[in-house]
Amino acid sequence: MCLSGWNILRAMTPLSITQHEAGQRLHRVLAGVAAQVEHDLDRIRESPESGVHSLRRRMKKLASILRFAREHVPDRTRQQIRQHIRLLKGAFASQRDEDVLRKLLLDFGIEARAVEFPRSRRVRVSARQFEAAVKLRDIVCNLPLHAMT
């Protein structure tokens, strides 16, 4: 038996809830995750390694929730959200690669300063990335999941 996203959400809760209530809960979760993206971008400026990790983890979470609700989200909207997720993840991919490489070098006892890295440690968050985060939040917050029946 294959369960839809709504039935899975209903099965996960101890109380019997309606599809409308399940949609409201799903909408709240999606909106909460999307709202935190802007905070992650601010965090990247203060602490690049943990900020990038947090942002990429949140993007994965958002993508998985979106897959969960795919039958209730219009294709065009889902594509827009995925486009913004890709943009944000891709913008910091090289920073993440550099952080992983530094950690790996330290694990093998090689001083990271002895290795030439193409980028500086200062991470820049562009206006385009903030704009993508705001658009992502707006799209997710305006999804009509709470009205689904």
The number of beta carbons lying within 10 Å of the beta carbon of residue 11 is 9
Per-residue pLDDT reduced to its tens digit, 99-110: 777 777 777 777
Per-residue pLDDT reduced to its tens digit, 39-86: 888 888 888 778 888 888 999 999 998 888 888 888 898 899 999 888
More confident residue, 22 or 2: 22
**Entry pTM:** 0.68
Q: How far apart are CA 133 and CA 109, in angstroms?
A: 38
What's the mean pLDDT when you consider all of the chain? Answer: 77
